[in-house]
Structure 1
Amino acid sequence: MGLRALITDVWSWLDYKPAMADPRRPGRNAWAELTSSWVPDEDLRRLAAYRLLAAYDSNQAGQVAAVTGDDKDGTERRELGDPSKLVDTALGYLLGADQTITVAGAEHADDEPTAEATMALAVQDRLRAWAEKELLPLRVQQAERTAILLGDAVYTLAWDPTKGRVLLRTWDPGLFFPEWSEDGEHDGADFPLRVHLAWDIPEDERRGLKARLRRITYELAPIGPASRRGATKDGAAAREYLYTDTGEPILIPGDTLHPDTGAITRTYPWAPGKPTPWTCYLTDAEWELDDLNRGDILYDLPLHKATYRIRADGEVLDRLDLMADFLPVVHITNSIPTSGDHWGKPTIATVLQALDELSATDTDSSGASATTGSPIIGLAGARLPIDRATGQPLPVKVRAGTVWQLNDNGRMDALDTSAQLAELRARVDHLLDRIAANSRLTAAGLGTLDPTALPSGYALQLALGPLDSLVAAMRLARTHKYAVLLRMVQRLHQAGQAEGWPAGEALPARLMWGPHTPTDRAAVLDEVVKGVGAGVLSVETAVRMLIEAGYPIDDAQGEIERVQARAFDAAVRLADATGDNVAVRDYLGLPPVSPEVPGVPLSPMAAEGSP
């Protein structure tokens, strides 16, 4: 291979595999026969990388190596689930103990009940209720495991008028095809103007259906006239745009036509006073693969051969106006993309060759253990049983209680391979340590570190340092994407006119991750007690530290009020310092003293004037 044929891109770490050869050169790509003609050439390396990584996760890397010619004996390779363990371990550290949706300003709703804080708390409660109905923790775990394994994951959002809420769905990134501008001047943080979700549907002989291609397209485009369900000349479902008899476009209520430019603008609930000419169109169509030519690429399929799908409410999904000025698609990357790229890097990318070495060593260990457990024995001068029919010695097997008669000079030698087996096991340990270090999951994070080897908790923190930086980088790559997703959830509820969702710009919401490493709760509690007692920590900060350490505190403000209601020593000091009994009663959460002097009931004898 010369330098001109060397490819350096996001998936170059897989170039040592023959299956990742240049897809533009015929006969060099092992996946070419398995890939449909509609797939763009620039996506072949990405799809090949996804398939290889999925094979590692399912213990099929050896079978893939045998198919692609990388290893003829690949089907005999021992694969013991190490790649899957790395992925699941990284997933656990990324997600943490739990995930919580927070809205900026909602924490002040108790102590500062302003209109902004009250609205933030209401939106936060609605987002959390939506997350519970849509099983958000489950969806996040599905998508994030895919992102860690393949480097990318995809969410889509859709308004369901029947359920009255936004539906969240996760997708295989191998079905995701964003369409970028042709000038190539885009960054990893940019959003495309059109994205496709496409896949092959196999032939169904029972129903008489041929093999088809399904493509779902989200596209930002200028707002058009109102439309309704129609039909083509051959009776197929299509969308019909509405015009008056004079040729003027009929508008959706709320849209405005500008006669001077011919543009149609719309004001969305989340941007009052800011009309825009853009909207998002949804198209869901199918093509029979027999109708497609070799030159028909995903981005330019013949629309006259398309069959459009019909939604449950009867809407034809042919450029259906979603009444939103954004694409309800969120692409998650496992790592921070390099400048000019927009694809992520899997966690096991840099240690993939080490995983191959580990699998090969496990295979060799399996063979060595077989010869160690059932050793090869050489006999000399033994009287072996003879097959009477053939006159040949019968095969000799080593079994418990077997006795051989040897001549005077007879000898029995056993091949001892235990030393080689011990070396192979030591090599396995060496490779595991190398994988733990280079993946930054660390031996302590993978649970292979001997706890007695650490002299103190500080030494454990140093051992977990690379893991902390790895988790921080992974969460940084996702923070903005989940903020965008929660913003889309609010806007789609506004567009669907869901009850209780306030109009106006969506409030900033975030998905907060739980602690990814165990916390010494006793040490945190001792630190809090000493800090508050010495006056160097406030009660608010102390309660927040306890929450982060995992103590079961649901309401921080309520916990502070309960603590202060029993802090009589602090109340005494407050009274001595200020002399203000009103401030003391407010500190303890007691109601103010009534200004009226209560009457003292008299006994009957005192009321009659008795002495």
Structure 2
Amino acid sequence: MGLRQFVIDAWSWLNYKPVMADAGRPASRGFAELAASWLPSHELRRLAAYKVLASYDNNQAGQLAAAAGDEAALERRELGDAANLVDTALGYLLGADQQIAVAGAEHADDESPEPGATEAAAAQDRLRKWAEKELLTLRIQQAERNAVLLGDSVYVLAWNPEKQRPTLRVYDPGFFFPQWDEDQDQDQDFPTRVHLAWELPEDVESGLKARVRRVTYELGPISEDGSAVRTYPWDPGRASNVTCYLTDAEWLLEDLKRGETLDRLPVHKAAFRVRPDGTELNRLDLLIDFLPVIHITNTIPDGGEHWGRSALARVLQGLDELAATDSDSSAASATTGTPIIGLAGARLPVDRATGMPEKLKVEAGAVWQLGESGRMDALDTSPQLSELRARVEHLLDRIAANSRITAAGLGTLDAAEVPSGYAFKLALAPLDALVGTMRLAREHKYRLLLKFVQRLYQAGRAEGWAGGESVPARLAWAPHTPTDRAAVLEEVVKAYGAGAISLETAVQMLLDAGYPINDASQEVARIRGQAEERMRQAKEVAAVSSGEEQGGPAGPQTGKPPATVAV
């Protein structure tokens, strides 16, 4: 391999696969769809990587390798280990649930709430209602599984006039093509133009030919000369000359020539889509100054890169080794369950039609006649099968360690091997670090998504969403591993009783430990309300007790000693 062929990029961990060398070639059997003339050449490796990863997730890696020329790969045994690894990582990432939290909302029910706390609580309630209507939890599941498996995922927001709220949709990252300005720094966080594009197959019954659809979001000046300005409700003190344009069009594949790639499709051959109200989607002004597209990465990208890394990336060769060992185990188990037998001096039955000896079958109740010097030998392959099974266990431990999910996280760790809870916590330390990194990579993107939701409400002039800067909202994740609730409760009681923490902090600690608390601020208000009620009742009882001891109107009139009242 020459130096010019030695590629190091975001997908170089797939260079060991021969199928990757065929990506984009017209004669490629594994990636025939990547030979489409409209696809940019610099995107082919990314799209090929997505297809390879998807084949592992669906137990089709052997089929993909066979399509690329490796016919022996059809015998590959794939037992769902890749999908299990992805689902396990996804489960730890998401935790039990996700909640929208707005900073300061937890103080709204205080006796003297902090400035802005009431507004923060109201915004938090509105965002949670939006999340419930838009099935945000389901959308997160869809998007995050793509991100964990492929390394990337895409959300797209749009204002729906009929529903009077922003709608949220999840796109496959293979449809996502960001365009970076050459005049700007390549390390910029956000592109100024984004394409969402995919092919639509031919529909003979409807008379539709094969075509490519492209949806484009692009930032540009409001007017051609840049003189027109607009004041957006989320930034009332600044005039902006930038807006976002939406274009949605289709092109027939037969009309596209070589060189007319995704960002160079001929406008005069485009068929623009039309909204239900009759508006043509050709540079439609959306009246916003941002792209309502959020790209989620599974990991923090390297400097100069924009793409995430799959949870399978660093253990893909281990999964190949595991599949090969499973294939060998299957073959060995066949000869162990139905052994190969050698006969000497046997009288074989003869087929009357052909006159040839019949083939013997190893089955229950079979009787073979042997001569005086006859002998039967069976090939014992059980030792090899035991070795293969031990190798499977070794590979699973290696994959668990290198993926940082750990054997404890995968549930393959023997509980008898863990001497204490502290040792178990140490065993989960790599998983804790992995989940922390994955959540950090998403923290800013979900803050951005919730900010865009607020701005679309403001742009749509929805009731209750006044102008002004968006409130800082975030997605709060539940604990990813089980916690010792009894230990946390004891710690909270001692710390709060000693005055070391506030009631709000105590409730938040219980919430993080997995106690069924839906809203921290409401829980704090209920606790304070119950405390005040108990204090009022105690004062009433004390007053009654005091009156009885003094022999007043509430006390006894018969001269008998007053009754004892427990306070």
- Scaled by the length of structure 2, what TM-score is found? 0.91
Separation in structure 1 between the aligned mates of residue 334 and residue 118 of structure 2, nearest angstrom: 70
Q: Which deviates more from structure 2 when the two are superposed, residues 278-287 or residues 401-410?
A: 401-410
2:95 maps to which residue? 96
1:581 maps to which residue? none
1:398 maps to which residue? 362
Kept in 2, the 8 Å contact 1:105–1:117? The answer is yes
User: Residue 437 in 1 paired to residue 401 in 2?
Assistant: yes
Gap change, CA 1:161 and 1:564, over 3 Å in 2: closer
Q: For the aligned residues, what is the CA RMSD? A: 2.3
User: Number of residues paired by the alignment?
Assistant: 542
Kept in 1, the 8 Å contact 2:29–2:68? The answer is no
Separation in structure 1 between the aligned mates of residue 234 and residue 88 of structure 2, nearest angstrom: 40
1:377 to 341, 350, 354: 341
Separation in structure 1 between the aligned mates of residue 528 and residue 448 of structure 2, nearest angstrom: 39
Separation in structure 2 between the aligned mates of residue 540 and residue 216 of structure 1, nearest angstrom: 46
For residues 18-44 of structure 1, the C-alpha deviation after alignment (integer angstroms, 9 at most, x for no partner) is: 122275887689525643110000000
SS at match of 1:156: strand
1:31 maps to which residue? 31
2:46 maps to which residue? 46
Separation in structure 2 between the aligned mates of residue 181 and residue 120 of structure 1, nearest angstrom: 37
Kept in 2, the 8 Å contact 1:23–1:41? The answer is no
Separation in structure 1 between the aligned mates of residue 519 and residue 250 of structure 2, nearest angstrom: 51
One-letter code aligned to 1:343: W
One-letter code aligned to 1:545: M
For residues 199-238 of structure 1, the C-alpha deviation after alignment (integer angstroms, 9 at most, x for no partner) is: 111111111111111100000000038xxxxxxxxxxxxx
2:493 maps to which residue? 529
Kept in 2, the 8 Å contact 1:445–1:467? The answer is yes
One-letter code aligned to 1:124: Q
Separation in structure 2 between the aligned mates of residue 55 and residue 564 of structure 1, nearest angstrom: 55
User: Residue 323 in 1 paired to residue 322 in 2?
Assistant: no
> Which structure 1 residue ranges, 5 or more long, are not aligned?
226-260, 572-583, 594-599, 603-611
For residues 317-370 of structure 1, the C-alpha deviation after alignment (integer angstroms, 9 at most, x for no partner) is: 000000000000000000000000100000000000000000000000000000
User: Residue 545 in 1 paired to residue 498 in 2?
Assistant: no
Gap change, CA 1:503 and 1:562, over 3 Å in 2: closer
Deviation at 1:105, TM superposition (A): 1.3
User: Residue 214 in 1 paired to residue 213 in 2?
Assistant: yes
Deviation at 1:541, TM superposition (A): 3.0
User: Residue 360 in 1 paired to residue 324 in 2?
Assistant: yes
2:448 to 484, 506, 510: 484
SS at match of 2:305: coil
Q: Residues 37-186 of structure 1: matches in 2 within 5 Å? A: 37-69=37-69, 71-111=70-110, 112-113=112-113, 116-183=116-183, 185-186=185-186
Gap change, CA 1:420 and 1:161, over 3 Å in 2: same
Q: Residues 491-502 of structure 1: matches in 2 within 5 Å? A: 491-502=455-466
Separation in structure 2 between the aligned mates of residue 220 and residue 145 of structure 1, nearest angstrom: 29
Separation in structure 1 between the aligned mates of residue 471 and residue 497 of structure 2, nearest angstrom: 38
Deviation at 1:538, TM superposition (A): 4.2
Q: Which deviates more from structure 2 when the two are superposed, residues 401-410 or residues 190-199?
A: 401-410
SS at match of 2:314: coil
Q: Residues 442-591 of structure 1: matches in 2 within 5 Å? A: 442-560=406-524, 563=527
2:558 maps to which residue? none
Deviation at 1:532, TM superposition (A): 3.7
Deviation at 1:505, TM superposition (A): 0.7
Separation in structure 1 between the aligned mates of residue 88 and residue 226 of structure 2, nearest angstrom: 56
For residues 280-335 of structure 1, the C-alpha deviation after alignment (integer angstroms, 9 at most, x for no partner) is: 00000011111110110100111001010001121110000000000000000000
SS at match of 1:213: strand
2:11 maps to which residue? 11
SS at match of 2:516: coil
1:424 maps to which residue? 388
Identity %: 66
1:190 maps to which residue? 189
Kept in 1, the 8 Å contact 2:38–2:260? The answer is yes
1:292 to 253, 256, 269: 256
SS at match of 1:331: strand
Kept in 1, the 8 Å contact 2:22–2:31? The answer is no
Separation in structure 2 between the aligned mates of residue 331 and residue 18 of structure 1, nearest angstrom: 29
Gap change, CA 1:486 and 1:5, over 3 Å in 2: same
Separation in structure 2 between the aligned mates of residue 24 and residue 377 of structure 1, nearest angstrom: 50
Separation in structure 2 between the aligned mates of residue 357 and residue 290 of structure 1, nearest angstrom: 43
Deviation at 1:562, TM superposition (A): 5.1
One-letter code aligned to 2:147: A
Deviation at 1:559, TM superposition (A): 4.0
Kept in 2, the 8 Å contact 1:18–1:30? The answer is no
1:242 maps to which residue? none
One-letter code aligned to 1:305: K
Gap change, CA 1:158 and 1:537, over 3 Å in 2: closer
Deviation at 1:548, TM superposition (A): 1.2
One-letter code aligned to 2:365: G
Kept in 1, the 8 Å contact 2:345–2:375? The answer is yes
Separation in structure 2 between the aligned mates of residue 6 and residue 22 of structure 1, nearest angstrom: 15
- Scaled by the length of structure 1, what TM-score is found? 0.85
Separation in structure 2 between the aligned mates of residue 29 and residue 37 of structure 1, nearest angstrom: 16
1:274 to 220, 233, 238: 238
Kept in 1, the 8 Å contact 2:243–2:286? The answer is yes
Separation in structure 1 between the aligned mates of residue 296 and residue 243 of structure 2, nearest angstrom: 23
2:277 maps to which residue? 313
One-letter code aligned to 2:180: W
Gap change, CA 1:558 and 1:209, over 3 Å in 2: closer
One-letter code aligned to 1:172: D
Kept in 2, the 8 Å contact 1:21–1:29? The answer is no
One-letter code aligned to 2:382: S
